[in-house]
Amino acid sequence: MKGLNPFSRISASPTRPATGKPKEVAFDVTSLVNGPFGEADDAEESSTAPLDEKLRQAYFWIVNHAVISPHYDVEYNVSAPQPIQFGDSQTPLFLPTDQSYSSFILLPLLTFAARRKCLFIGGPGRGKTASALLMGLLGGYSPKEVRRAMQHGHPQMTVADLLGNPMPMDLMQAEQESDIRISWRRWLNMRVKIVDEYNRIPTRTQSALLTVMGDNYAEMFNQIHECPPAAWYLTANDDQGGGTYPVIEALKDRIDVVVQALPFNPRFLDDLLLRIEEGVDPADCLPDALQFSEAEMDQMERSIRAVTLPADLRQRLEFFASQFEFSEYSGQQFEYKSKDTSRLAGVPRHQLAMLEDGRDRLADLGCQTRNGLSVRSLMSLIVYAKAMAFFRGNTEVELNDLTQMLPFVLHSRLFADADAPFFQQPENAALLSDKIGWLRHLFQLSCAEFERQGRHRKDEVAELKAELDAGLEGVSDKQCRKRLEQIERTLHQLAAGNKLSGAVHDDAMTLKYLHQRYSNYQRWLSSQG
């Protein structure tokens, strides 16, 4: 009776037709006998759609049939959208001019494609677990398998509950630890792993989870179980420590994206009603054609990694990331002028803020945050930007891919400083609670500053670094001296023409690094006679 499921077929129409270029209709007489009534051939429908198309088909299937989600918060535009202002606050509503997406479905799907880790947050009953379940189904598991493999966090959860149990007989008879066989839990072998309410797990069990999440293996009684690469989904009702146990920082940092379940729109109650009356569970209806095999998941991850990040976008990202870690009065030595230095020393932020006298604390983006960006967060950002480009059928990341992915990646990694002058402005007060909006705004401000400084036209530090990256092979002593002089000249220009900001600090550190590399090389050249 599989054939009786009307959702078992996927539309043959492309989910994202190329704009401005109508698709050439490949004329084929066999197309006459194919259509809405199914393939005339008895053979099973084989999925020949490219993986990005299949991923989009999965997205649209979920949006149209599974999750009632009228929120399109990941906006793309081909031309400037016209805002429609609402209320006293004149809040604009934009009607996107290009295909836009619902983050609550898109981000988990990109997590699935790139095999990363996603945290769903939001109040109870908003579809967090249901969405995670759908991702499990995409991985080729049955609803029963996914439900049984789902780990439900609770205050009494032990490491054995999470990972498995030693064989009782071995416990009695073993002469050494390695003789104890472990009955590993089946979920460890799954390609989609779901941990529900992870903030209710006791701290000790969280540490065991951290090892599985971070290093992809589980350990008990000196026995190691290697886990396959997997997409992870965690859910929490609260991201601010409101669970039973505080989540350890390292575990939080392993999470690549945080996606918030947006409220249900009561206008769609009729859909809900029909589901109740008819007893339809979307999890039972996922078409087989949308399931990804292990080989397809491997291929998809490789394709995502192969998407290129153009140099000009990378420079924008570098500029953005350089804004936040710098703190002028946190350290005496240049290298230690970071927020982390003062945090480790326990120096309150407001004390340092009082020392600030030179820079404009309203305009300086670094003043809006309490911390800087970790390397892991930058890696996650790049992966998700690439995954987004892949999802949209592109081979190169676009600026909007970065703009749209950045807030979800940095949601639980870059923290706003509520005392910052920026948030004292009435028009910015709402951004303190709307983290996604604030982070997106922050990146846009950074891009505007990047352009204002003309870095997209000329970036001397980048040019000098590219020169070094080309290699030192064959660089003569004379050339080396010339480059060293140029580095010193650039450093002097930087020092003379700018206030010390995060970007200037990072440029100066880069130039110091280049200076070291060249001077070491020059010394080696001299030693060769």
Measure the CA–CA gap between 243 and 222, rounded to whole angstroms. Answer: 31
| Using rule CB under 8 A, residue 269 touches other proteins | no
Measure the CA–CA gap between 187 and 143, rounded to whole angstroms. Answer: 14
Q: Kindly state the smallest distance separating residue 290's Cβ from other proteins, in Å.
A: 15
Nearer to other proteins, 42 or 469 (CB): 42
| Using rule CB under 8 A, residue 6 touches other proteins | yes
CB proximity list for 520: less than 8 A, separation 6 or greater: none
Q: Kindly state the smallest distance separating residue 43's Cβ from other proteins, in Å.
A: 11
| Using rule CB under 8 A, residue 289 touches other proteins | no
Whether the CB-CB separation of 72 and 101 falls below 8 Å is answered with yes
Q: Kindly state the smallest distance separating residue 53's Cβ from other proteins, in Å.
A: 18
| Using rule CB under 8 A, residue 272 touches other proteins | no
Q: Choose which of 11, 12, 38, 246 interacts with other proteins (CB under 8 A).
A: 38
| Using rule CB under 8 A, residue 432 touches other proteins | no
**Residue 281's closest CA among 430, 471, 66, 437?**
66
Nearer to other proteins, 34 or 222 (CB): 34
Nearer to other proteins, 66 or 508 (CB): 66
Q: ∠ at Cα 161 (159, 167), nearest 5°?
A: 90
| Using rule CB under 8 A, residue 13 touches other proteins | no
Nearer to other proteins, 130 or 210 (CB): 130
Measure the CA–CA gap between 473 and 146, rounded to whole angstroms. Answer: 55
CB proximity list for 509: less than 8 A, separation 6 or greater: 334, 335
Q: Kindly state the smallest distance separating residue 71's Cβ from other proteins, in Å.
A: 20
Q: ∠ at Cα 350 (336, 251), nearest 5°?
A: 65
| Using rule CB under 8 A, residue 40 touches other proteins | yes
Q: Choose which of 10, 15, 20, 104 interacts with other proteins (CB under 8 A).
A: 20
Q: Choose which of 34, 142, 299, 351 interacts with other proteins (CB under 8 A).
A: 34
Nearer to other proteins, 22 or 124 (CB): 22
Nearer to other proteins, 282 or 366 (CB): 282
Of 34-42, 88-96, 325-333, 466-474, the window that binds other proteins (rule: CB under 8 A) is 34-42
Measure the CA–CA gap between 380 and 116, rounded to whole angstroms. Answer: 8
**Residue 381's closest CA among 430, 313, 433?**
313
CB proximity list for 141: less than 8 A, separation 6 or greater: 149, 190, 192
Nearer to other proteins, 38 or 358 (CB): 38
Q: Choose which of 11, 12, 35, 169 interacts with other proteins (CB under 8 A).
A: 35
Measure the CA–CA gap between 185 and 195, rounded to whole angstroms. Answer: 13
Of 32-40, 104-112, 128-136, 511-519, the window that binds other proteins (rule: CB under 8 A) is 32-40
Q: For residue 103, how many other CB atoms are within 10 A of its CB?
A: 23
| Using rule CB under 8 A, residue 27 touches other proteins | yes
What is the signed CA dihedral for 64, 70, 72, 78, rounded to 10 degrees?
70
Q: Residue 91 forms beta bridges with which residues?
A: 86
| Using rule CB under 8 A, residue 358 touches other proteins | no
Of 23-31, 221-229, 365-373, 451-459, the window that binds other proteins (rule: CB under 8 A) is 23-31
Of 19-27, 188-196, 304-312, 480-488, the window that binds other proteins (rule: CB under 8 A) is 19-27
| Using rule CB under 8 A, residue 32 touches other proteins | yes
Q: Residues 496-518, buried b or exposed e (16+ Cβ, 10 A)?
A: eeeebbbbbbbbbbbbeebbebb
**Pattern 189-208, other proteins, x by CB under 8 A:** --------------------
Phi and psi at residue 308, in whole multiples of 5°?
-95, 150
Q: Choose which of 280, 347, 352, 484 interacts with other proteins (CB under 8 A).
A: 280
Of 18-26, 109-117, 233-241, 301-309, the window that binds other proteins (rule: CB under 8 A) is 18-26
Q: Choose which of 44, 88, 175, 278 interacts with other proteins (CB under 8 A).
A: 278
Q: Kindly state the smallest distance separating residue 282's Cβ from other proteins, in Å.
A: 10
Q: Kindly state the smallest distance separating residue 443's Cβ from other proteins, in Å.
A: 32
| Using rule CB under 8 A, residue 274 touches other proteins | yes
Quick one: residue 14, left, alpha or beta (phi over 0 = left, psi -120 to 50 = alpha)? beta
| Using rule CB under 8 A, residue 77 touches other proteins | no
Q: Kindly state the smallest distance separating residue 31's Cβ from other proteins, in Å.
A: 8
Burial class (CB in 10 A: 0-12, 13-18, 19+), 172: exposed
Whether the CB-CB separation of 193 and 233 falls below 8 Å is answered with yes
Q: Choose which of 87, 124, 168, 279 interacts with other proteins (CB under 8 A).
A: 279
Nearer to other proteins, 7 or 94 (CB): 7
| Using rule CB under 8 A, residue 60 touches other proteins | no
| Using rule CB under 8 A, residue 144 touches other proteins | no
Measure the CA–CA gap between 476 and 485, rounded to whole angstroms. Answer: 14
Q: Kindly state the smallest distance separating residue 519's Cβ from other proteins, in Å.
A: 56
Nearer to other proteins, 4 or 345 (CB): 4
Phi and psi at residue 495, in whole multiples of 5°?
-70, -35
**Residue 261's closest CA among 369, 74, 98, 124?**
124
**Residue 251's closest CA among 188, 201, 206?**
206
- List interacting residues with other proteins (CB under 8 A): 1, 3-7, 20-25, 27, 29, 32-42, 271, 274, 278-280, 285
